[in-house]
Amino acid sequence: MKNKVLPLILTGALLMPACNLFSKNQNAVVAEQTLEQKILSKAKLEIIGEGTDKIYVLYTQGTPYERGFQHGKLLKEQVTKNLTSIIKSKEYITSDLDEDKKENVNVGYQKMEPFISQQFKEEMKGLADGAEVSIADLQFYQIVGDVVENGCSNYFLKGSATQNNNVVQVRILDFPLEFGVQNYPVISVVNPDVGHPFATIGWAGFLGAVTGVSQEKIALGEMRGDRAVELYRKLNNLEEKKETLKGTPMPFLLREILQFDTNLDEVTERLRTANRTNCYVYVIGDGEAQEPRAYLTDHELFEAFDTEKFQKIVSAVEPEITLENKSDVIFGGHNNKLINEKVNQYYGRITEDLIKQDFNPALAMKGNLQITIYNLTNMTLQVANAEGAKGRAAEQGYVFLDLNEAFNWFKEH
């Protein structure tokens, strides 16, 4: 009887018996599992809050791919469900759009891709691998904020405006509740391999930032600014607003601010030189310097305002608003008149409880997705998320997070 001959497998320049291949494959699986365990050992997932107000807090650190993988693996179920909801919402997004705008929804990421940094592409790849989801679906999710218009409110208070002289910033995010992202809220506390730690208040599978604060005490606020840009351009005899999707997605631009910028001058330079997309108003605070700055932008227009300049331009653009030259307040919202009235009514007596009970319920729109109150003096967050399809965030309970404790976790791990 002839001896059996094991088939030979070509691996590189070596000929290897198949029996050795099996052990090699087994070793590769073990090595892959060990690497995965090592990556996940740098991360943590916890829950804060109770009942319908509970929020996942995800701690990630390492390279962009590692952070994405940690996010995807630890929140796999939530990412999968959230993406399913987002993709189903495409029909809702496009129902009232003309053909050109429908095309933007379908090919938005392809238009923006050349302006997206490599770190975000690697992070998306890691998230897709960790959660085992379609990277194309993830890509659409990251840029949906640039193709869907929404109105929000943002205001910054400091010094004598507040009862205890704390620096407080409020970000009211109004966005269609039909998307369903409010069912999967996540606070991501991130320690990147390049840059400094930051926290974003978002949702499972979302890597950008529309709400967030860094360890450097830079806090974000934004809103679509079509009306403000149109009024400003008209006031200054400029051409009509300029918008495009051939630029950096707004959430990625804002997250770069959190990750890399340490003061408002750096923020201003980043926004000024960015490949901007659509009309936005930003209210960004620096808790260290105790200063805010507002920005009015479209693809070409860029204007930065301190409190004094802001008050002058608001009085010119919206003459029905009477500002009382308060140097420690700046705001931008879908109803600036109402924000101003609230500030004037309670000036010097404003507390976080008053903000929750009076300001925010009055200012929030029907589709009120999320509210975040940053205390930049104490470095704390209070966050509320919408409940279901009709329960505005303004009527929900707020969940508290001490950012000092959150950022300190990385020092021990």
| CATH at 277 | 3.60.60.10
pLDDT for 13 equals 33
pLDDT for 24 equals 55
3-state helix, strand, coil in the chain (%, to 5): 45, 25, 30
Task: Identify whether the C-beta of residue 393 lies closer than 8 Å to the C-beta of residue 183.
Answer: no
Structure tokens at 77: 């179920």
Distance of alpha carbon 279 from alpha carbon 273, whole angstroms: 15
pLDDT bin (cut points 50, 70, 90) of residue 382 is very high
Q: Tell me whether residue 19 is in a domain.
A: no
Distance of alpha carbon 122 from alpha carbon 144, whole angstroms: 19
Q: Tell me whether residue 190 is in a domain.
A: yes
Query: Per DSSP, which regions of 193-244 are E strands?
Result: 198-203, 212-214, 218-219, 222-224
358 alpha carbon, distance to own chain's centre: 25
Residue type, 405: E
Give the DSSP H/E element, type plus range, for residue 291. Answer: strand 291-297
pLDDT bin (cut points 50, 70, 90) of residue 410 is very high
- Counting other chains too, the contacts that 108-111 makes at CB distance below 8 Å and 24 or more residues apart are 108/140, 108/143, 108/144, 108/146, 108/147, 108/245, 109/136, 109/139, 109/140, 109/142, 109/143, 111/245, 111/246
Q: Tell me whether residue 27 is in a domain.
A: no
pLDDT bin (cut points 50, 70, 90) of residue 323 is confident
pLDDT bin (cut points 50, 70, 90) of residue 12 is very low
Q: Across residues 11-25, what is the average pLDDT? A: 44
Q: Which domain holds residue 266?
A: 43-412
Q: Tell me whether residue 372 is in a domain.
A: yes
pLDDT of residue 219 exceeding 90, the answer is: yes
Distance of alpha carbon 105 from alpha carbon 94, whole angstroms: 7
pLDDT of residue 42 exceeding 90, the answer is: yes
Residue of 214, 212, 190, 259 lying closest to 44 (CA atoms) = 190
pLDDT for 322 equals 78
Q: How many domains does the chain have?
A: 1
Q: Tell me whether residue 69 is in a domain.
A: yes
Task: Identify whether the C-beta of residue 127 lies closer than 8 Å to the C-beta of residue 72.
Answer: yes
Residue 143: which residues within 8 A CB-CB, separation 6 or more? 108, 109, 112, 245, 249, 251
* Secondary structure (3-state) at 161: helix
* Secondary structure (3-state) at 275: coil
pLDDT bin (cut points 50, 70, 90) of residue 324 is confident
Q: Tell me whether residue 31 is in a domain.
A: no
Which of 87-91, 200-204, 351-355 has the weakest average pLDDT?
87-91
Q: Tell me whether residue 353 is in a domain.
A: yes
Rounded to 5 degrees, what are φ and ψ at 381?
-125, 145
Handedness of CA 169, 401, 368, 87 (dihedral sign): positive
Q: Tell me whether residue 7 is in a domain.
A: no
Strands 368-375 and 168-174: antiparallel
Handedness of CA 127, 257, 269, 301 (dihedral sign): positive
pLDDT of residue 275 exceeding 60, the answer is: yes
Cα dist from 160 to 38, 166, 196, 343, 359, whole Å: 49, 9, 31, 12, 18
pLDDT of residue 60 exceeding 50, the answer is: yes
Structure tokens at 39: 């990556």
Q: Across residues 224-242, what is the average pLDDT? A: 92
Residue type, 5: V
Distance of alpha carbon 55 from alpha carbon 172, whole angstroms: 17
Q: Across residues 26-55, what is the average pLDDT? A: 87
Strands 185-192 and 55-62: parallel
Handedness of CA 360, 364, 370, 375 (dihedral sign): negative
pLDDT bin (cut points 50, 70, 90) of residue 72 is very high
pLDDT, one tens digit per residue, over 296-312 is 999 999 999 998 888 88
Determine what percent of the chain is predicted with pLDDT higher than 70. Answer: 90
pTM for this predicted structure: 0.90
* Secondary structure (3-state) at 14: strand
